[in-house]
């Protein structure tokens, strides 16, 4: 019984060190894989494109013509080109593309949105919100 009480904390410590070492090796591998042109996300949530990789720093272009310097440890993730393009340009991923409209569907009439209170007093659908009581 006493042996189990002594072994349990030792096993927990060994598992914590093992998972920490695994995370460090993954981070080291990601940092060595950085190359110019790759899209990245920093630990602060900033999306940027790698312009140059130095010994301990990375030059990131955060806007056209705006280059900043970050330490390599500030890079949280290297993104796939499609994922980076979808995030930066707001394009949906391939599996999220909208369905094409059917040819026999009725066209939707585009009426400008009216902010006048004329229709709101009547409570009809055309004017907007129903009248308040």
pLDDT digits (tens, 9 = 90+) for 7-33: 888 888 888 888 888 888 888 887 777
State whether residue 10 is helix, strand or coil: helix
- The secondary structure of residue 72, as a DSSP letter, is G
pLDDT at position 7, please?
87
What pLDDT does 81 receive?
A: 84
Quote the pLDDT of residue 77: 87
Burial class (CB in 10 A: 0-12, 13-18, 19+), 74: middle
* The pLDDT of residue 94: 57
CA dihedral 92, 51, 38, 40 (to 10 degrees): -70
More confident of the two residues 97 and 77: 77
Element (H, E) at 42: strand 39-42
- Residue 35 has what pLDDT? 87
Looking at the whole model, is its pTM more than 0.95?
no
């Amino acid at each position: 019984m006493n042996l189990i009480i002594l072994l349990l904390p030792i096993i927990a410590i060994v598992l914590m060190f093992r998972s920490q070492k695994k995370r460090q090796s993954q981070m080291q591998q990601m940092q060595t894989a950085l190359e110019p042109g790759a899209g990245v996300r920093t630990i602060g949530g900033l999306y940027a494109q790698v312009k140059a990789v130095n010994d301990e720093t990375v030059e990131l272009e955060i806007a056209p013509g705006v280059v900043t310097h970050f330490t390599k440890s500030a890079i949280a993730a290297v993104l796939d080109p499609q994922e980076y393009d979808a995030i930066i340009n707001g394009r949906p991923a391939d599996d999220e593309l909208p369905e094409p409209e059917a040819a026999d569907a009725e066209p939707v009439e585009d009426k400008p949105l009216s902010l006048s209170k004329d229709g709101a007093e009547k409570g009809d659908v055309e004017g907007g919100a129903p009248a308040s009581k």
